């Protein structure tokens, strides 16, 4: 296990976060307009937004992972839910416990705000991630649909 500090993202992390974000988008074969990326980062820093991010930082200050989440209401609970939206660890830092630490950080946030649950989705072919996910959570059996029907 690699020794990292998991902490909330700050403005000065932007360039390092962008490197991780771009790696994440490449992994999922996705492209986003620069305006979406800019808006996403600014939301992390806006206390009025329910969108959050944390980073995994090595002892020498390098960011090697990131996690984002959204806090939202549910019709099935009084307490909020947390949707773990994005999780990415740099390829050279994988299989060293960083992903688990990032997920557990979000679990800690859930405990702090008394969230009813933390949940997330992954692509069916992301087998390596699923090896971790089955250790830290359970698969609920739901199938996800979306609109519009075109792939982003």
- For residue 33, being part of any structural domain is answered with yes
pLDDT per residue as tens digits for the range 28-45? 899 999 999 999 999 999
pLDDT per residue as tens digits for the range 68-101? 999 999 999 999 999 999 999 998 888 889 999 9
31 vs 25: CA distance, rounded Å: 6
Residue 5 has pLDDT above 80, yes or no: yes
- For residue 28, being part of any structural domain is answered with yes
pTM above 0.95, yes or no: no
Looking at the structure of the chain, the number of domains it has is 1
- For residue 145, being part of any structural domain is answered with no
Q: Which domain holds residue 19?
A: 4-136
- For residue 148, being part of any structural domain is answered with no
- For residue 11, being part of any structural domain is answered with yes
Q: List the CATH number of the domain containing 82.
A: 3.40.630.30
């Amino acid at each position: 296990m690699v020794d990292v500090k998991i902490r909330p993202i700050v403005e000065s992390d932007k360039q390092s976060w962008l490197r991780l974000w771009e790696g994440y988008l490449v992994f999922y074969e996705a492209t986003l307009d620069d305006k979406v990326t800019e808006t996403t980062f600014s939301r992390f820093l806006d206390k009025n937004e329910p969108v959050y991010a944390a980073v995994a930082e090595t002892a020498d200050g390098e960011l090697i992972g990131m996690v984002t989440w959204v806090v939202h209401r549910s019709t099935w609970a009084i307490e909020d839910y947390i949707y773990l939206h994005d999780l990415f660890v740099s390829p050279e830092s994988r299989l060293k416990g960083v992903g688990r630490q990032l997920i557990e950080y979000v679990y800690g946030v859930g405990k702090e705000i008394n969230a009813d649950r933390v949940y997330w989705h992954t692509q069916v072919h992301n087998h390596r991630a699923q090896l971790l996910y089955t250790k830290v959570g359970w698969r609920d059996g739901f199938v996800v649909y979306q609109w519009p029907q075109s792939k982003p």
